[in-house]
Structure 1
């Protein structure tokens, strides 16, 4: 007991010492080189997080999610490109090491890792991704290494989720943390809309032509908060809004009035941020996800009220006398069509590349499509072709065989969540499970128009709720 307490005290003293050294060091270096001071400050903070993660991997799990959200802020402040992917990989490996060598929890997991259907599909997909290394249609293997590194990162995160979230209390903590984090992102996004992008954000966008094209639309800036881009921000705002609306329909005995007022505040902030993001795919995700929830819960009075209010709000935005607000105008184009040339170009690209899909059952190879193809496989038939769809990218890079596996995996995720919902009895648990199913279904549909599941932030949430769905399946079976 004494040795453990001594170790904790030593870590605390080291952490305090690092901060004491950091304050004058950063102040001195800042006067000479701002970029280096930001890098040094980030390194010291990261070292502190790394130490904590090695001691408590559960806390490190949440640190990793926060770092993944805000890691692009130092990059923008420094006005330079940083190896953010490497930082995330190292951080996650520390969390994994903490989970492997954790001596406090010796209880074996009841998840059947080698029998579970969803995990078996995941293993097949992993094997298929490894086989893609030998795809003869690729010009270079460099892109495959980049992709497989990101894939392994998501793979590890899923299994750490199974280790961290052991029961319903852990799941409650996760959703509280997640909604608090996305609310903070939404509030910052609303601040960006109110006062404009900060100087360092404008400077970073101006120096990056690709970022400028995606952020500046028709003379206005799409809001991205502290996330990677407006698309990632919009998708997460839609996902969190769905969860909040689902929870709002709970009975007063389950979620009291004070907490419902907080949920209403979260919904308003998330909806505003969603609108400011300018992500049309995310606009569609919201009604699609809620449609599944409404259909399953038509017997619930609160659900009917929520459905009526949501329908009225949608109709007001689509057909109301609002003709000068650019956010509402862009929202309408997601549902009512427009003369936007970018939408027409997407349809032309999809029809023109169909013969390639039919003639390449294993695809053109990983990282051969779009800008990735230009970078890693220049001269490839798919290089420069913008898929603007997760399914189109999958069928082009992995072939129709890979697309079948991807579709099966996404279907299994929704199937698990819906099945868990009908097997659960506690109302709050049922709402969380149907909320997960609604989010998964919304992402599944959104994949048709955008690579919604492949964004860093959205992939974290997607793997987290998939892990919850798997864990709940075995927790329920164990308790009954």
Structure 2
């Protein structure tokens, strides 16, 4: 028997007739979802094709993901502040995971050289990540959600971003691009901060202030500028960090117009640091400049810089010059041992010392600070403000974990100094010196504030480490070129000698011929 078939194919005319009602239904459905879930739905519809295109480009060229990570780390907080309804902070995790997938599954195995991750920096990152994972079993019983959100800035981004940078972002032109992006977005942040100070925050920023941030960002009626960063402390520290980097570059052996550009960028970042009202940022500046002076190999510069630093300290400590400027007046309080804020911090540290005495492994990752308040409100440590990244590491990991972490930081700093000291290429050396001086500043600044674990400072430090440790490989071409020069010069000299001999012989023969004639 033949199977029955029904003529169910649609004619072109019927399809065109259904197109308009279908579009209307889709539009109505999108509008209803948007009314229920906010701007996220139309944003997804618009962004989905773009996301697919970006994903295809990422898997074809994974190094684009490193560039996207650098840019996103600067803009994530202002995106999160202006667009509600999605956890944009997790976008940093997503970018890094996608880049790793692109590297692992890329058809061309030469895209990433895995031999570059066989170094001390990546091994230390792995070790610190493993220690952080072990902290899940801390007897204090901290929340796993608090652990996850806290460990991202503490170790996760280090663990993921450093090997990626070493495999994908390892050339001299990549270092140039990295510095360009960091300086560009930092200067843009300073300019945005000046706009914020002159015209006030926009509606989304004002809402953030009204939601509780005003108590720390409006002091005596003066706004502590935060630009498009997470808050004023991170803005000020990051501006001081990049101010040091630009200052070191401005003093380097570059073309005159580049040094002028670096000098202007350094001055703008210094102004950004001042208008943030972040007192701890001053120590980022001082420590970074000191490191530059030590590694500059110039005794005169070291002596002169030290004298200027002592003079600036004396002006801030023992005079009232500049007190009419609120930013200068607030910076001056950082040198006052009787400052009320400092006394509160010392009392909090005394409480922590008593609590952590019998707990050498701390209270667990994520138990103190913002994530402690949100996910570990039942724990004693969540009621104490750390006010310092050093103190936070001590509270979470205990004295054992803190000594391990601090030892790692000193090792990385010491090895970075050794690498910079031996670099022969003067341009490369100045760039790596700028990154090392910046890291020194951020490390010391983290004693007073949470800086190293916040974006974009964490990203700049981690990728900066990668470039410094890649320094010997980047310097190899310069060393080889200059090793060939003595050989070439010797060959040229030998040829010149032969030419002289030939000239003398030919000259003598010609004279003899003339005499015989």
Q: Same fold (TM over 0.5)?
A: yes
The more displaced of 316-325 and 275-284 is 316-325
2:123 matched residue in structure 1:
120
Q: What is the CA-CA distance between 1:258 and the residue it aligns to?
A: 1.2
User: For 1:73, what is the secondary structure of its paired residue?
Assistant: helix
Query: Mapping of 1:287-306 within 5 angstroms?
Result: 287-297=286-296, 299=298
**Cα distance change of structure 1 residues 52 and 228 upon mapping to structure 2, 3 Å threshold:** farther
Long gaps (5+) in structure 1: 1-20
**Cα distance change of structure 1 residues 107 and 369 upon mapping to structure 2, 3 Å threshold:** closer
Aligned equivalents of 1:145, 1:181: Cα separation in 2: 28
2:273 matched residue in structure 1:
274
User: For 2:456, what is the secondary structure of its paired residue?
Assistant: helix
Q: What is the CA-CA distance between 1:123 and the residue it aligns to?
A: 2.4
**Cα distance change of structure 1 residues 316 and 411 upon mapping to structure 2, 3 Å threshold:** same
Query: Mapping of 1:92-241 within 5 angstroms?
Result: 92-103=96-107, 106=110, 109=113, 111=115, 113-114=117-118, 116-149=119-152, 151-206=155-210, 208-209=211-212, 211-241=213-243
Query: Mapping of 1:35-50 within 5 angstroms?
Result: 36-37=38-39, 40-41=42-43, 44-45=46-47, 47=51, 49-50=54-55
**Cα distance change of structure 1 residues 168 and 36 upon mapping to structure 2, 3 Å threshold:** same
**Cα distance change of structure 1 residues 337 and 199 upon mapping to structure 2, 3 Å threshold:** same
Larger Rg: 2
Aligned equivalents of 2:273, 2:45: Cα separation in 1: 32
Aligned equivalents of 1:134, 1:203: Cα separation in 2: 39
Aligned equivalents of 1:157, 1:40: Cα separation in 2: 32
Query: Mapping of 1:245-256 within 5 angstroms?
Result: 245-251=247-253, 255-256=254-255
**Cα distance change of structure 1 residues 306 and 139 upon mapping to structure 2, 3 Å threshold:** closer
**Cα distance change of structure 1 residues 361 and 307 upon mapping to structure 2, 3 Å threshold:** closer
2:54 pairs with 1:55: no
1:329 matched residue in structure 2:
329
2:90 pairs with 1:86: yes
2:246 matched residue in structure 1:
244
Q: What is the CA-CA distance between 1:348 and the residue it aligns to?
A: 0.7
Aligned equivalents of 2:204, 2:54: Cα separation in 1: 25
The more displaced of 166-175 and 422-431 is 166-175
Q: What is the CA-CA distance between 1:87 and the residue it aligns to?
A: 2.4
**Cα distance change of structure 1 residues 274 and 93 upon mapping to structure 2, 3 Å threshold:** same
Q: For each residue in 1:19-74, what CA deviation from the matched residue of structure 2 results, as whole angstroms up to 9, or x when unmatched?
A: xx9xxx9xx97xx8699347744774572544443332222211222222212323
Q: What is the CA-CA distance between 1:328 and the residue it aligns to?
A: 0.9
Q: TM-score, normalised by structure 1?
A: 0.84
Aligned residue pair count? 446
**Cα distance change of structure 1 residues 60 and 147 upon mapping to structure 2, 3 Å threshold:** same
**Cα distance change of structure 1 residues 110 and 327 upon mapping to structure 2, 3 Å threshold:** same
**Cα distance change of structure 1 residues 356 and 96 upon mapping to structure 2, 3 Å threshold:** same
Q: For each residue in 1:73-122, what CA deviation from the matched residue of structure 2 results, as whole angstroms up to 9, or x when unmatched?
A: 233334x46412222222222222223334456166374645x3333332
2:73 matched residue in structure 1:
68
Aligned equivalents of 2:450, 2:239: Cα separation in 1: 16
Q: Is the 8 A contact 2:277 2:330 kept in 1?
A: yes
Q: Is the 8 A contact 1:118 1:409 kept in 2?
A: no
**Cα distance change of structure 1 residues 92 and 182 upon mapping to structure 2, 3 Å threshold:** same
Q: What is the CA-CA distance between 1:368 and the residue it aligns to?
A: 1.3
Aligned equivalents of 1:43, 1:283: Cα separation in 2: 46
The more displaced of 272-281 and 196-205 is 196-205
Aligned equivalents of 1:88, 1:40: Cα separation in 2: 22
| RMSD between aligned residues | 3.1
Long gaps (5+) in structure 2: 1-22, 481-517
Q: What is the CA-CA distance between 1:373 and the residue it aligns to?
A: 2.6
Aligned equivalents of 2:309, 2:108: Cα separation in 1: 47
Aligned equivalents of 1:326, 1:196: Cα separation in 2: 17
Aligned equivalents of 1:81, 1:277: Cα separation in 2: 28
The more displaced of 182-191 and 305-314 is 305-314
2:345 matched residue in structure 1:
346
